[in-house]
Amino acid sequence: MNLYKYASPSAFYPLAGKMIPWFAVSAAIFFAVAMYFGFVLAPQRAGDQNQVYHIIFIHVAAAWMGMFLYVLMAIYAGIGWAFNARLASMMASSLSITGAIFTLLSLVTGSLWGKPTWGTWWAWDARITSTLILLFLYIGFISLQSAIDDQRRADKAGAVLALVGVINVPIIYFSVQWWNTLHQGATIRLLEKPKMTSPMLIAMLVMLVACWLYSIAVVLIRLRCIILEREQNAAWVSEGAA
């Protein structure tokens, strides 16, 4: 199978269409399993934390997705720019919306956790502030794309912004180590024994997988829309128009 074939929008379009239902259905199953582990099997209290800790499952998954999707978006935007690959640029545009939504979700759920725990909805702490900057980077990328009429120029401008903004991702990740933050340290570290009981850990990881599957499904659906919108004058699209 020639994989390069799928770098062209016309070949990728039907392939993505076949993949979407599988990702969507498995995302729903994983969400349900995560909720079952998180709310039924996990203990009511976690260490010194009361039941409000249940927010952690969606909060951590959303925060991770916000960062992962940003890096992915920057890579695709960079590829689209460097190799003049229009499908990669379309992928970056598609990723930006879902990434922004997860980043917003991590900020809102963090706020809902902060109020009963710290007594405040918001703090200008290093991690929270850098996550807010991540949201602004996404919004900047999205508005830049819609503000520039020439699509390929918009892609280039977006790529520059996305690549410069990548520096913010390690800042978010290491902020809890570099600065003395109100936000607690990492919950899970590689190569270290996790500080949580196993149903909690399973709930968190399954939720993360669910968010990945969800993201793949919606990003592919949006990518198909973007392909149609941008290539509507191309023969493979217009020939099929009724």
- Residues at the interface with other proteins (CB under 8 A): 10, 13-14, 17, 39, 44, 50-52, 54-55, 58-59, 62, 97-98, 101, 104-105, 108-109, 112-113, 115-116, 214, 218, 221-222, 224-225, 228-229, 232, 236-242
- Output 108 or 171, the one with its CB closest to other proteins: 108
What is the spatial distance between Cα 89 and Cα 112, in angstroms, rounded to a whole number? 35
CB of 144 to other proteins, least distance (A): 20
Q: How far is the CB of 51 from other proteins (least distance, A)?
A: 4
Residues 162 and 91: their CA atoms lie apart, in Å, by 13
3-state secondary structure 22-34: HHHHHHHHHHHHH
Nearer to other proteins, 79 or 87 (CB): 87
In whole angstroms, give the CA distance from residue 227 to residue 114. Answer: 41
Nearer to other proteins by C-beta: 62 or 202? 62
Could you give the residue ranges of the DSSP H alpha helices within 119-197?
126-147, 151-165, 168-178
Query: What Rg value do the Cα atoms of the chain yield, rounded?
Result: 20
How far apart are alpha carbons 134 and 172 in whole angstroms? 9
Contacts of residue 185, Cβ cutoff 8 Å, sequence gap at least 6? 176, 177
Q: Would you tell me how many other CB atoms lie within 10 Å of the CB of residue 111?
A: 15
Least distance from C-beta 94 to other proteins, angstroms?
10
Residue 106 is encoded by which pair of tokens? 């991590």
Taking the C-alpha atoms of residue 32 and residue 203, their distance in angstroms, rounded to an integer, is 10
Pick 21 or 170: Cβ nearer other proteins: 21
Query: Which residue lies nearer to other proteins by CB, 160 or 229?
Result: 229
Minimal distance in Å, beta carbon 175 to other proteins? Answer: 22
Q: How far is the CB of 177 from other proteins (least distance, A)?
A: 26
- Rank residues 191 and 241 by Cβ distance to other proteins and give the closer one: 241
CB 181 to other proteins: min, Å: 21
